[in-house]
Structure 1
Amino acid sequence: MNILFIERLTVMAYIGIYDWEKKYLQKLIFDLQLSYNTAVFLGETSIVSYLDYTHVSQTILDLVSKKHFYLIEDVANLIVNTLVKKFCVCWISVKVSKPGAIRDASNVGIYIERKVNIS
């Protein structure tokens, strides 16, 4: 299995349920791993035949920077569902961190892992 990973992709986003959170950009950090069916690409030499980390990163930046989210769970689910559909990945893990969200903790977040049956 080949796994493409992206670590510590940082995005400033409007996220939170409290009124003050809706007014200020907050840092979200993404750690992702994506696996794809490499058999599809055997013998291919074109760059469009591979999972491109710049396209994956840009997709996340575009999705997260365009709207307000109430929960990091909402962000994580949107990212997972979009990447699975757009890039035909067969396995994905996404960790979304919101550092500084709790005064006495350095970080909080959510981790989602999904295996996708692609026919």
Structure 2
Amino acid sequence: MKDTVFIEGLKVEAVIGVYDWEKEIKQILFFDLEMEHDNRVPAVNDDLSKTLDYEAISNFITAFCTNNVFELIETLAERLCAELMQVFEINAMSMALRKPGAVPTASAVGVKIYRQK
């Protein structure tokens, strides 16, 4: 099994959706990420600069969702995942993106993706 760094239940507001009314409001999205990373490297010297900094990644996700507008959560997930892998030098990751309230009879709907270089 590979080491991971994870972020669970990251709550972000975003303009997302295909309907005209959705393009006028911000909606809540939740992100769960698992990013492969050899955690032995930062552990040797207790060195933050050698980690996948989950605070920096969380802030990046929030900014990305604030600065971009998509109709589909599939598009958001794909583009965000590609950006995260490039900016933070992540070799492989999984992402679950949930959009609560999109289907009134479901607690949430969403997508799960896994990508690797």
Is the TM-score greater than 0.5? yes
Unaligned runs of 5+ in 2: none
1:50-89 equivalences in 2 (<5 Å): 50-89=51-90
Q: How far 1:68 sits from its partner (Å)?
A: 1.5
| Preserved contact between residue 42 and residue 48 of structure 2 (Cα < 8 Å) | no
**Within the alignment, does 1:106 sit opposite 2:83 as a pair?**
no
In the alignment, which residue of structure 1 is the partner of 2:49? 48
In the alignment, which residue of structure 2 is the partner of 1:31? 32
SS at match of 2:15: strand
| Preserved contact between residue 37 and residue 89 of structure 1 (Cα < 8 Å) | no
Unaligned runs of 5+ in 1: none
CA root-mean-square deviation: 1.6
SS at match of 1:62: helix
Deviation per CA, 1:58-81, whole angstroms, max 9, x where unpaired? 110010011211110111011210
Q: How far 1:87 sits from its partner (Å)?
A: 1.3
Deviation per CA, 1:34-75, whole angstroms, max 9, x where unpaired? 012457657444321111100110110010011211110111
Q: How far 1:115 sits from its partner (Å)?
A: 2.5
SS at match of 1:81: helix
Q: How far 1:106 sits from its partner (Å)?
A: 1.5
In the alignment, which residue of structure 2 is the partner of 1:6? 7
Aligned partners of 1:86, 1:40: CA distance in 2, in Å?
A: 19
| Preserved contact between residue 9 and residue 30 of structure 2 (Cα < 8 Å) | yes
